């Protein structure tokens, strides 16, 4: 066990799975990095994220494939390779680029198992960066997990820390269905203790990171850290919160959310994706439908406005959810309590 | 009774603990208590445990507030006789906090420096926690099935005042390597003997819990020269049966909720099993090979609800002092087995205690082990 960054945790998961299983291959733009470049150094870069650094050197050009700038070609190739026996991990770089290859995911990879009567497996992983807060502007800052969550046949994973990232990525690689694995680009340098050994975290089990009596906060990805920070501050003011990290939006651990709301009677959902038809809507609907009788106050969503992500630093800050906004939302539902529940 | 005020400070449960949360006070200011009464609940990253009163007296002041997180050693309250004046209590607090202030940083640094280390023992790589030193013979603590060295978090430090105390993760467990050979008690005992050799310890007091008790008995049978005394806590190898549902449920649980249900079977007071303890156990269980190791051990040591090893003869022929602790509410290895123990074995049975007496009755068990070790060496 040692401290590892989010980036190192993902690199280690890829490396250990490639050592364990020769059918695991990587594909993506610049993932070998510097190969054939002017520096003369192979594997200088490890992709624009620096996540695959060192893998080309260890596993060679047959298993670490630099692809042309054609998402439709290599995401499609990954789906085909998965259906015919490999376990590809394709790096889409920015999740915003899904626009160029959505058919390969939406109509092909996600549908193979169903359309072939359960006889086809598609064990592929698409890794991509998501999220605002990096001044990457409107075309490189989106949080598109609701888009994938909407598609039956896909599994959608959004890790909230280095420990979570390693265990969930190994689970994703071993899974026999297409998995969308989304990494928040602001989190790559965050560090925590991560075991050196391989381990898996199952999909569809939420992680409870704080336990409290007053409010349940469900937060996704990077928002989990903000929710924990808000919960720590609120505890000093006498308000205790349960914080839930769903880990995967598909499958979604509905039971844990419903159980916690039944205990606290209040729900806040923190989601940095655009506010219409996002996870905050989905989880709010779940609770309104199945746990309305346990609610003491209206549900509140902490979400950005329905606009493209602004490039300007002050505007982007205003756009994003934050610990302060979560804290204010919790206080607001505490003051809005409309009824006592028996 | 206490004329001079007594400082109640944040306790240290286990070497890794640097701070704890005062979950709640169970005693109000002005209330009289006996020694050993529970004063407060303390929550750490791994366990929630009662804070027992170090003496009889009256709780005069609560300094830590419920919900507050404080470093180990920080003043949380003051105990004194009812007739000690409020002014004296205040003076005591001022003086204590003045003396305490500069040491905090140093304590934290030493706690970090002395975390568990990886030790290569033959083919095994074992996670080993050392503490203490002194003239007494060393103590080796062997945890049970599916456990790890943190099962001794309330035991190791208290025993380490006069001697070296070592806990470790058995092969297949915790942060140790996952191969367990054939998974038998004999193979595990051989790994323990190897560990003692590697640590340059010719002879030690052995304390074994549950499966670790069976390992300890196997060690006494195979290499008696290494064993100075034997303390067995709810040991395997003595009775005939085991809770087979627990063995498989505990090994296979793949969700925290399922694990919580299994862990609650271990104790009489279910409140001892907090979310963080469940999470720590699940983190170990998720490692590749961890479940396979437990399956191998289960197959080697048990035939459904029957124990394969009958080690009572080892106890009957033991040439070293032996004591046994057992909780009367043990739902894993029934306390009935204690009735067949030979007369020379000192037996301590506890009502309202489950399979973890070393955690559920930590203070009493620690005191009895301490005096047992001293007597064994005298």
Q: What's the mean pLDDT when you consider all of chain A?
A: 94
pLDDT value of residue B107: 47
Q: What's the mean pLDDT when you consider all of chain B?
A: 90
- Among A147, A172, A194, residue at a domain's last position: A194
Q: Does residue A281 sit in the same domain as residue A322? A: yes
pLDDT value of residue B111: 43
Higher local confidence (pLDDT), A146 or B108: A146
A202 within a domain of the structure (yes/no): no
Question: Out of A253-267, B204-218, B264-278, which region has the weakest mean confidence (pLDDT)?
Answer: B264-278
Q: Does residue A183 sit in the same domain as residue A265? A: no
A199 within a domain of the structure (yes/no): no
Q: How does pLDDT run across A199-228, given as a tens digit for each residue? A: 999 999 999 999 999 999 999 999 999 999
- Among A171, A194, A217, residue at a domain's last position: A194
Q: Does residue A327 sit in the same domain as residue A211? A: yes
Distances (CA, A) of A108 to A146, A157, B196: 19, 19, 59
Q: Does residue A151 sit in the same domain as residue A229? A: no
Question: Out of A78-82, B43-47, B274-278, B351-355, which region has the weakest mean confidence (pLDDT)?
Answer: B43-47
pLDDT band at B376 (very low <50, low <70, confident <90, very high): very high
pLDDT value of residue B112: 38
Distances (CA, A) of A21 to A8, A24, A63, A124, A178: 20, 6, 11, 14, 17
Question: Out of A232-241, B113-122, B187-196, B221-230, which region has the weakest mean confidence (pLDDT)?
Answer: B113-122
**Over the range A97-117, which residues count as b (16 or more CB within 10 Å of their CB) and which as e?**
bbeebbebbbebbbbbbeeee
Look up tokens 């963080």; give the residue.
B276
**Over the range B332-370, which residues count as b (16 or more CB within 10 Å of their CB) and which as e?**
bbbbebbeebeeebeebebeebbbbbbbbbbebbbebbb
Residues on chain B touching A1 (C-beta within 8 angstroms): 175
pLDDT value of residue B104: 45
With CB atoms and an 8 Å threshold, state whether B255 touches A1: no
Was domain B6-110 assigned CATH 3.30.1950.10? no
What domain count does chain A have?
Answer: 2
Catalytic residue annotation of A: 140
Query: For residues B253 and B261, what is the distance between their CA atoms, to the nearest angstrom?
Result: 9
Chains A, B: CB contacts within 8 A come to 28
Residues on chain B touching A201 (C-beta within 8 angstroms): 286
Q: Does residue A236 sit in the same domain as residue A187? A: no
Taking 90 as the threshold, does the pLDDT of residue B5 lie above it?
A: no
A142 within a domain of the structure (yes/no): yes
A266 within a domain of the structure (yes/no): yes
pLDDT band at A265 (very low <50, low <70, confident <90, very high): very high
CA nearest to B192, candidates B201, B234, B228: B201
Read off the pLDDT of each residue in A112-129 and give the average, rounded to a whole number.
96
pLDDT value of residue B46: 66
Q: Does residue A251 sit in the same domain as residue A158? A: no
Q: Does residue A280 sit in the same domain as residue A241? A: yes
Q: How does pLDDT run across B92-131, given as a tens digit for each residue? A: 887 777 776 544 444 443 443 478 999 999 999 999 999 9
Is any Cβ of chain A less than 8 angstroms from the Cβ of B254?
yes
Q: How, if at all, do strands A207-210 and A241-245 pair?
A: antiparallel
pLDDT value of residue B70: 86
The structure tokens listed for A222 are 């990077």
A340 within a domain of the structure (yes/no): no
Q: Does residue A160 sit in the same domain as residue A15? A: yes
Distances (CA, A) of A322 to A11, A51, A140, A325, A334: 28, 27, 20, 5, 18
pLDDT value of residue B161: 87
Choose among A200, A207, A235: nearest Cβ to B286: A200
Domain ranges of chain B: 6-110, 116-377
A341 within a domain of the structure (yes/no): no
pLDDT value of residue A262: 97
Mutation target among A1, A209, A248 for the B interface, most CBs of B within 10 A: A1
Question: Out of A70-74, B9-13, B95-99, which region has the weakest mean confidence (pLDDT)?
Answer: B95-99
Taking 50 as the threshold, does the pLDDT of residue A152 lie above it?
A: yes
> A197 to chain B nearest CA, in Å?
7
Taking 70 as the threshold, does the pLDDT of residue A94 lie above it?
A: yes
Domain coverage including residue A84:
2-194
Question: Out of A139-143, A262-266, B106-110, B240-244, which region has the weakest mean confidence (pLDDT)?
Answer: B106-110
Q: Does residue A261 sit in the same domain as residue A147? A: no
> A27 to chain B nearest CA, in Å?
26
A207: nearest CA partner in chain B? B256
With CB atoms and an 8 Å threshold, state whether B175 touches A1: yes
pLDDT value of residue B18: 76
pLDDT value of residue A342: 58
Q: How does pLDDT run across B28-60, given as a tens digit for each residue? A: 898 999 888 889 888 876 677 888 888 888 999
CATH number of B116-377: 3.40.50.1820
Taking 60 as the threshold, does the pLDDT of residue A197 lie above it?
A: yes
Residues on chain A touching B287 (C-beta within 8 angstroms): 195, 197-199
Distances (CA, A) of A294 to A242, A252, A256, A266, B300: 15, 20, 14, 8, 49
The structure tokens listed for B125 are 């790589």
* CATH at residue A169: 3.40.50.970
Look up tokens 């609907």; give the residue.
A285
pLDDT value of residue B101: 57
pLDDT value of residue A39: 59
The structure tokens listed for A6 are 């989010």
A98, A144 in Cβ contact below 8 A? yes
Mutation target among B66, B148, B286 for the A interface, most CBs of A within 10 A: B286
CA nearest to B342, candidates B372, B366, B311: B311
Go through chain B and tell me how many residues it has.
Answer: 378
Q: How does pLDDT run across A7-55, given as a tens digit for each residue? A: 999 999 999 999 999 999 999 998 886 545 555 566 657 787 789 988 9
A201 within a domain of the structure (yes/no): no
Q: How does pLDDT run across B242-279, given as a tens digit for each residue? A: 999 999 999 999 999 999 999 999 999 998 898 989 99
pLDDT value of residue A33: 67
Chain B, 67-86: which have a CB under 8 Å from a chain A CB? Answer: 67
Residues of A within an 8 Å Cβ radius of B: 1, 167, 195, 197-202, 205, 207-208, 211, 235, 240
> A191 to chain B nearest CA, in Å?
17
Read off the pLDDT of each residue in B295-302 and give the average, rounded to a whole number.
97
With CB atoms and an 8 Å threshold, state whether B255 touches A208: no
The structure tokens listed for B192 are 């323990």
With CB atoms and an 8 Å threshold, state whether A195 touches B175: yes
Residues on chain A touching B254 (C-beta within 8 angstroms): 202
Read off the pLDDT of each residue in A160-184 and give the average, rounded to a whole number.
98
Contacts of B134 (CB under 8 A, 6+ apart): B161, B162, B163, B164
> B289 to chain A nearest CA, in Å?
9
Taking 60 as the threshold, does the pLDDT of residue A289 lie above it?
A: yes
Residues on chain B touching A199 (C-beta within 8 angstroms): 283, 286-288
B9, B75 in Cβ contact below 8 A? yes
> B287 to chain A nearest CA, in Å?
4
């Amino acid at each position: 066990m040692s401290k590892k960054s989010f980036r190192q945790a993902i690199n280690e998961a890829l490396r250990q799975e490639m050592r364990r299983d020769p059918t695991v291959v990587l594909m993506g733009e610049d993932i070998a990095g510097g190969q054939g470049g002017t520096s003369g150094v192979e594997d200088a870069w490890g992709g624009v994220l620096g996540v695959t650094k060192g893998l080309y050197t260890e596993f060679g050009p047959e298993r670490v494939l630099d692809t042309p700038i054609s998402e439709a070609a290599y995401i499609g190739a990954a789906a085909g390779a998965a259906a015919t026996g490999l376990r590809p991990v394709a790096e889409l770089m920015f999740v915003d680029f899904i626009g160029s290859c959505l058919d390969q995911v939406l109509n092909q990879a996600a549908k193979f198992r169903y359309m072939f009567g359960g006889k086809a497996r598609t064990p592929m992983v698409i890794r991509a960066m998501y999220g605002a807060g990096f001044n990457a502007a409107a075309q490189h800052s989106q949080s598109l997990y609701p888009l994938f969550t909407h598609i039956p046949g896909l599994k959608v994973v959004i890790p909230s820390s280095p420990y979570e990232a390693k265990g969930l990525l190994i689970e994703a690689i071993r899974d026999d269905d297409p998995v969308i694995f989304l990494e928040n680009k602001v989190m790559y340098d965050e560090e925590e203790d991560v075991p050196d050994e391989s381990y898996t975290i199952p999909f569809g089990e939420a992680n409870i990171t704080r336990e409290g009596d007053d409010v349940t906060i469900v937060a996704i990805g990077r928002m989990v850290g903000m929710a924990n920070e808000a919960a720590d501050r609120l505890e000093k003011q006498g308000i205790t919160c349960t914080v839930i990290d769903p880990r995967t939006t598909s499958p979604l651990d509905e039971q844990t959310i419903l159980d916690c709301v039944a205990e606290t009677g209040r729900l806040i959902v923190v989601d940095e994706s655009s506010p219409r038809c996002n996870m905050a809507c989905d989880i709010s609907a779940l609770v309104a439908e199945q746990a309305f009788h346990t609610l003491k106050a209206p549900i509140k969503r902490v979400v950005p406005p329905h606009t493209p992500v602004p490039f300007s630093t002050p505007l982007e800050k205003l756009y994003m959810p934050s610990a302060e906004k979560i804290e204010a939302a919790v206080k607001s539902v505490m003051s809005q309590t409309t009824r006592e529940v028996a | 009774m206490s004329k001079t005020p007594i400082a109640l400070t944040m306790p240290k449960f286990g070497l890794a603990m640097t701070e704890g949360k005062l979950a709640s006070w169970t005693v109000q200011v002005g209330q009289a208590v006996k020694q050993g009464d529970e004063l407060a609940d303390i929550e750490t990253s791994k366990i929630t445990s009662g804070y027992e009163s170090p003496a009889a007296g009256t709780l005069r002041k609560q300094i830590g507030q419920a919900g507050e997180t404080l470093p180990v050693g920080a003043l949380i309250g003051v105990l004194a006789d009812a007739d000690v004046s409020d002014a004296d209590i205040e003076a005591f607090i001022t003086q204590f906090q003045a003396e305490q202030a500069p040491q905090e940083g140093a304590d934290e640094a030493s706690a970090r420096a002395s975390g568990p280390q990886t030790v290569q023992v033959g083919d095994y790589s074992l996670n080993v926690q050392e503490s203490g030193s002194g003239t007494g013979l060393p103590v080796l603590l062997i945890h049970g099935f599916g456990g790890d060295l943190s099962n001794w978090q309330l035991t190791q430090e208290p025993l380490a005042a006069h001697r070296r105390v070592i806990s470790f993760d058995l092969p297949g467990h915790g942060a140790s390597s996952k191969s367990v050979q054939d998974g038998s008690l004999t193979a595990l005992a051989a790994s323990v003997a190897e560990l003692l050799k590697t640590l340059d310890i010719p002879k030690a007091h052995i304390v074994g819990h549950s499966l670790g008790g069976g390992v300890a008995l196997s060690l006494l049978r195979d290499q008696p020269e290494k064993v100075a005394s034997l303390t067995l806590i709810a040991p395997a190898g003595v009775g005939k049966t085991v809770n087979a549902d627990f063995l498989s449920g505990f090994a296979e649980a793949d969700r925290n909720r399922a694990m919580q249900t299994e862990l609650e079977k271990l104790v009489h007071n279910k409140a001892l099993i907090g979310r963080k303890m469940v999470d720590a156990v699940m983190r170990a269980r998720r490692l590749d090979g961890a479940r396979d190791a437990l399956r191998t051990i289960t197959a080697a040591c048990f035939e459904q609800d029957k124990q394969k090893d009958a080690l009572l003869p080892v106890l009957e022929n033991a040439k070293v002092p032996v004591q046994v602790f057992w909780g009367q509410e043990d739902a894993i290895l029934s306390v009935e087995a204690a009735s067949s123990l030979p007369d020379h074995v000192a037996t301590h049975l506890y009502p309202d205690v489950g399979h973890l007496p070393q955690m559920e009755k930590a203070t009493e068990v620690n005191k009895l082990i301490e005096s047992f070790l001293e007597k064994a060496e005298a």
